[in-house]
Chains A and B, each alone.
Chain A
């Protein structure tokens, strides 16, 4: 065997090894979570997902409040962040004058560089009192956490969406304008469909980040295991519960219930991301579909 061929093979196997390493860690983490969670799974079964009472001193563990809090705070964050972020991206890529584009783009990216604990502190010391004055109560809770999360994920969605909008070939846009499309038509019917994969990708990334965010949420969520009547009341989330309670989890069932929560977090994040990913991969394959759509659109404009 020549030395080139050997190098080639070594390189081939090395990269393969690295790739499989990731898979190995994924499976290893899952297995550890499953094994550690087993006593709780055995004790509570699927009731764990719906039980509301969490009383470690009595040995009663129900995961529903934490699961519910995670979902609702993430939902609030997505509802607040996605429209605003896409608006920002459209403004930056198409509407803003070019002397504004770069400084605004950079400041949005800088927002993404702020560590989450800083968002948490800001939320606790500035935003929570503001909420207290606006809606009453104590200012901490699902909405406050959702708002802070939305600020954290906003730059992700905005920056990636802007970049993918910018990949729209100039020629497509110009053709649309030439056919009499307005700016709004071009954004809606040319750029957004073209950048759809990127936009969905950014939303998924943001969703994953919001769902697993720990520090910022622990500051502003209120950290109580109950299912609140309104989004302005205190609640808890899975990551916040784990961060708060792991150190002092001294009975086996307590410890393993926390692992059960971690397993649920792992499965939910995995499910959301893979679902979205498959959806988005499927879109990619249908290039012919998209071409078909272009033709339809062009016809539509011609008729105008």
Chain B
């Protein structure tokens, strides 16, 4: 009898120690890189036994929680400027790059067929171009059979880093947009419908004929949607595909001094896709010990396996040079693993 109880206790304690064994880290923030962080955390756990628990609560929530030191690291799609980092006592580095594509649902027009000037995209989202056969759309698509139907604009209803990066691109493409709507995580949209999350926008675009919206690249490929061809900053046509995203990422001028503050939209170059964005990790300066555990996780994830996961899930891994710069940044602040 006693023997049984004792074995039971041993078993139970083994279970518990298994559950609580290893380091545990908690992070919270941006929802856009969440699928990748889950994947990275899974491989990291298998490799080292250390757990990383990531909560996808949105960039705003991530900044809030790390500012109050409620989590070990925060994640945000919107980079913070050095002054704000200083004020909140935070360190910042990019983790991965993603891209935003303009998706549409028009009968008979396939992926990468429709060409939209950046200024035309801005005017569609501003409600100034209201029909698919508008002369300004037709001008760049003489061979397409554009219907004489109203355009239904679909945007995010929740605050989002995706919207921040997309509206940054629209502001850079149209002075009107910049002055009337501006850049932000949630906006006063002139027209359209709101969907919650990338999946909400995806659903609305997929089931509303003649609609247009913007989603993370990963959602487009996973849901076999059709995306528009956009323009580089200098006006050359550029398709929404991986090598063009990478081309844009290569122009990023990250610096350690700036804490990697950099918007990746509208980079120069003949093949740079215009809406590329990176997502950032925030660390509390004073917690050197947990920071080292966090950087160990990212150091591992910046390796070959992590890059493969990024690729598989539709993200773009950081260039090797950037990764080394981040490692130097860690060293400089004494948080290297």
Contacts and interface: CB of A to CB of B under 8 A. Distances in A.
Interface of A: 53-58, 60, 124-125, 128-129, 132, 138-140, 218, 222-225, 234, 236, 240, 243-245, 247-250
A236 B192 CA distance: 12
A120 to B, nearest CB: 11
B231 interface: no
A244 B167 CA distance: 18
Interface string B56-74: 0111110110000000000
Nearest to A54: B188
B196 A248 contact: no
A252 to B, nearest CB: 11
Contacts of B203: 124
B64 A250 contact: yes
A27 B60 CA distance: 29
Interface in B165-200: 167, 181-189, 192-196
B133 interface: no
B131 to A, nearest CB: 14
Given A140-B204, A248-B186, A249-B60, 12 more contacts: A57-B182, A129-B207, A140-B193, A224-B189, A244-B158, A244-B196, A245-B157, A245-B158, A248-B160, A249-B159, A250-B59, A250-B60
B159 A245 contact: yes
B180 to A, nearest CB: 10
Interface of B: 57-61, 63-64, 152, 157-160, 167, 181-189, 192-196, 203-204, 207-208, 211
Contacts of A243: 196
B60 to A, nearest CB: 4
A124 B167 CA distance: 27
Contacts of A56: 159, 184-188
A134 to B, nearest CB: 15
A138 B60 contact: no
A146 B193 CA distance: 17
A138 B208 contact: yes
Nearest to B160: A248
Contacts of B192: 224, 234
Contacts of B182: 57-58
B183 A57 contact: yes
Contact of B59 (A57, A225, A236, A248): A248
A31 to B, nearest CB: 22
A256 to B, nearest CB: 14
Given A247-B58, A248-B158, A225 B188 contact: yes
The 6 closest A-B pairs by CB, nearest first: A57-B184, A248-B159, A223-B194, A55-B188, A223-B157, A247-B58
Contact of B211 (A60, A138, A236): A138
Contacts of B158: 244-245, 247-248
Contacts of B183: 57
A247 B187 contact: no
8 contacts: A129-B207, A223-B196, A234-B193, A234-B194, A244-B157, A244-B158, A244-B196, A248-B61
Nearest to A121: B203
Contacts of A247: 57-58, 60-61, 158-159
Nearest to B64: A250
A57 B203 CA distance: 26
Nearest to B185: A248
From A56, A58, A60, A247, residue with most partner B Cβ within 10 Å: A247
A128 B154 CA distance: 15
A57 B195 contact: no
A250 to B, nearest CB: 4
B177 to A, nearest CB: 12
Nearest to B58: A247
Contacts of B184: 56-58
B190 to A, nearest CB: 9
B207 A125 contact: yes
A234 B188 CA distance: 14
A124 B200 CA distance: 10
B207 A218 contact: no
Nearest to A56: B186
Contact of A223 (B59, B64, B193): B193
Contacts of B159: 56, 244-245, 247-250
A223 B181 CA distance: 17
A37 to B, nearest CB: 18
B319 to A, nearest CB: 29
Nearest to A132: B208
Nearest to B161: A248
Contacts of B187: 55-57
A222 B59 CA distance: 23
Given A56-B159, A129-B207, A223-B195, A250 B189 contact: no
A124 B199 CA distance: 13
A224 B61 contact: no
A247 B55 CA distance: 12
Contacts of A250: 59-60, 63-64, 159, 185
Contact of A218 (B61, B64, B189, B196): B196
From B157, B182, B207, residue with most partner A Cβ within 10 Å: B157
A248 B188 contact: no
Contacts of A125: 207
A218 B200 CA distance: 10
A243 to B, nearest CB: 8
A129 B158 CA distance: 23
Contacts of A244: 157-159, 194, 196
Nearest to B30: A248
B214 to A, nearest CB: 15
Nearest to A141: B193
Contacts of B59: 248, 250
